[in-house]
Structure 1
Amino acid sequence: MKFARPVLAATALLAATACGGNAEAGPASAPAGAAAAVELRLPEPGNSGVLAVAKKDGSLDRALAAVHAKVTWTSAPAGFAEAADALNSGRLDAAQGSISTGLLPLAGKPGFALFGAAQPDPIGEGILVKNNSGIKSVKDLAGRKVAVDAGGAGEYLLLQALAKYKVPAEQVQRVRLSPEQARSQFSIGEVDAWAASGEPVVTELAHASAYLVTSGFGAGSDNYRVWAVRSELARQHPEVVRALYDYLHEADGRAQRDPAAYLNVFTSSGPEAVSGRAKDVRVDVGRAAAPVGPIQEADAVRLEKVAQLFAAQHVTPSVVDVRSHLLDVNSLAGSAR
């Protein structure tokens, strides 16, 4: 693949990022000559998704065994900002987020790179409004208060929707709240709308008391789901990163075809389980989701658009150089398999 400014190959990118890193931050491999497998630390997957299935049936460990690696499951970070800290400190080797949530961590000197991306969620993200709100379009948000997560997916989705529908951003009050605060404020009417992605959207749509005044698709979202890997691990063991990518790509495809099989993986009861309308919504969102793939030139251009929007709206002080943190997974060892 060709890039106007090339997505960096593994050796070039990781040699640069490793210069200021701490090689002792976490174990990447056993001593020379030892039989111990390379440790790949991933966040606990919870009760749903491809990693939950991977943990339950051992399929990821079997895939990694071919490159002499194995998974160690670690405590799950609350969000991508926390995951980025864990990647930088060596407590985690790979994690998933979105490009909007990744921009602030990428604005510094991260010890990780992005090695895979899935196109934006067309129906599982957007701007929620109450059924009786009187808000029928994005233009109706002018003069209203909208809950967002600061520098995250919600703030991006709101800004993107306002830009698309030519509503000046200063005409809408962004109320920066945690997900818990946003849920509370939205439920009691302290904010008029809630820009969100993932579980909040599923929950609110399942309750049938709210709807999306615009979805990610309607907003023209470029909020790709991305996978990040610790740079030192990728430098030392590119074959492990490639094996992880191959597994995720194939598993995402299976999950898209049969989303229900990736829900309630460990338990079908209790607070982690989904049922009824919430399960139906999750199935619909899963079926619409795209599998993770290599970051192509067209993807890189769209990732840059998110960085440009955040800079234009002063979410970041300047445009984050996303391309310098992209890893061409097809350049990694094992890519010819």
Structure 2
Amino acid sequence: MSSRSPRRPRLVSVVAFASAALIVLTGCGSSAKDTKDAKTSAAGDGKAGVTLRIPDPGNNGVLARGKKDGSLDAALAKVNAKVAWTGSAGPFAPAAQAINAGQLDAALGSITSAVAALGQKPSFKLFGATAPDLAGEGILVKSDSKIHSIQDLVGKKVACSQGGTSEYLLLAALRQAGIPADKVERVYLRADQTAPVFSAGQVDAWATWATYSVPALASGNARFLADGRALGSDNYSVWAVRNAFADKHPDVIKAFYAYLHDAGTRELADPAAYINVFTDSGPTAYGAEPKRIQIDFTRQGATVEPIRPADVDRFGKVARFFLEQKVTPALVDVKPHLLDVDSLPGAAG
């Protein structure tokens, strides 16, 4: 692969990447209640217990279900803890900044975005991993596009988020096809701003994950050029926890992990029960076709597990790939930032 630097991306969005952090951080810790929760989370409270601050899950998934039916509260109560929903779930980069700023205790991301964040003086560790979503992530093109192979991307514009899942998928596709990275123009956009740009034809393709591929596919106006399976993706989902919180409350992290694992197992058996948890209508709800696609993707997925040696090897592979592709300026060693959840004190069930 060529060692030349990639063509300088053209920024279609007028909102800089820092705005993504600001939007999420604005929802993190600004109210009096959040301030109180922050103090409780950091120091603990003999009467009220410990507060675990995580992003609000929205309308889908195991945490949405746990929020609605109280099962997450019940699981944490066993270790004298409770949850505080702080901000909104979204890209991991701003969540990592919120963790580093002491405004968030745990968040979900991808190993690709985690590698990028770990190269910037992080204050978090990874404690759980879910196998790559080989069905839901990949590179989208318009349904009527004349692009039918990765080779057809040469000279084209592809939307992606910088330094995470999107950029990883695009670069992995190009490497697999033997195409130098600078032969394709990367258009850096926030994931939540890309759909209208893609729909308007301002970019030729879009590297993304299930949160955004599901509605795009359901619209009938998009198709996968290549999904994660075709690309041999190593893009694990990972859970991160603030170091200070894990050091003081390892039993809470173990209880939270156990909840995620068990609830994820139930979700695989009955995906429909974890979609449209709070409402079947409105902008956060899936219609019939998106729901069908998401159910199919979920059934092909996995639940969160402890981070095993084989996972560590694949994390290292991602880190080396990002260095080779000049996404990171130096090799990021993931190993010092891993937490063995099996070794933590406290009941696992």
TM-score normalized by the length of structure 2: 0.86
Task: Measure the CA separation in 2 of the matches of 1:128 and 1:91.
Answer: 35
1:336 Cα deviation after fit? 6.6
Aligned to 1:318: 330
Q: Match of 2:11?
A: none
Matched, 1:127 2:143: no
Distance 1:290 1:142, change over 3 A: same
Instruction: Tell me if the contact between 1:239 and 1:334 (Cα under 8 Å) persists in the aligned partners.
Output: yes
- Which stretches in structure 2 are left out of the alignment for 5+ residues? 1-36
**In structure 2, do the counterparts of structure 1 residues 25 and 54 end up closer, same or farther at CA, with 3 Å as the change threshold?**
closer
SS at 2:128 equivalent: strand
Check if 1:193 corresponds to 2:202. no
1:28 to 41, 64, 68: 41
Q: Is the Cα–Cα contact under 8 Å of residues 28 and 236 in structure 1 kept in the other structure? A: no
* Offset of residue 78 of structure 1: 3.9
Aligned equivalents of 1:25 and 1:69: distance in 2?
Answer: 13
After TM superposition, the structure 1 stretch with the greater mean CA deviation from structure 2, 219-228 or 276-285, is 276-285
Please point out which of 137, 150, 169 is paired with 1:138. Answer: 150
Q: How far is the alpha carbon of 1:272 from its aligned partner?
A: 1.0
- Mapped pair 1:248 → 2:271: no
Would you say the 8 A contact 2:254–2:348 is kept in 1?
no
Residue 51 of structure 2: aligned partner: 39
Aligned to 2:314, the other structure's residue is in SS state helix
Inter-partner Cα distance in structure 2 for 1:132 and 1:207 = 13
C-alpha displacement of 1:31: 6.0
1:62 aligns with 2:74: yes
CA RMSD of aligned residues (A): 1.7
Q: Does 1:153 align with 2:153?
A: no
Cα pair 1:128 1:211 within 8 Å, conserved: yes
Q: Distance in 1 between matches of 2:131 and 2:215?
A: 22
In structure 1, C-alpha distance between the alignment counterparts of 2:284 and 2:197, rounded to whole Å: 23
The answer to whether the 8 A contact 1:141-1:172 is kept is yes
Match of 2:241 in 1: 229
Q: Is the 8 A contact 1:98 1:224 kept in 2?
A: yes
- The residue aligned with 1:206 is 218
Q: Give the alignment partner of residue 286 of structure 1, picking from 293, 298, 310.
A: 298
What amino acid does structure 1 have at the position aligned with 2:40?
Answer: P
Instruction: Summarize deviations over 1:262-308 as a string: whole Å, max 9, x none.
Output: 01111111111111211111111111121000111111111111111
1:293-312 correspondence to structure 2 within 5 Å: 293-312=305-324
TM-superposition CA deviations, 1:121-162 (whole Å, max 9, x none): 011100001122111121221222111111121110011111
Counterpart secondary structure, 1:27: helix
* Partner residue in 1 for 2:278: 266
Partner of 1:332: 344
1:17-72 Cα deviation digits (max 9, x unpaired): xxxxxxx974336667x322111111111111100111111111111111111111
Q: Secondary structure at the match of 1:246?
A: helix
- Output the amino acid matched with 2:232: G
Q: Match for residue 11 of structure 1?
A: none
Asked whether the equivalents of residues 99 and 123 of structure 2 are also in contact (C-alpha less than 8 Å), the reply is yes
* Aligned mates of 1:334, 1:31 — CA distance in 2: 17
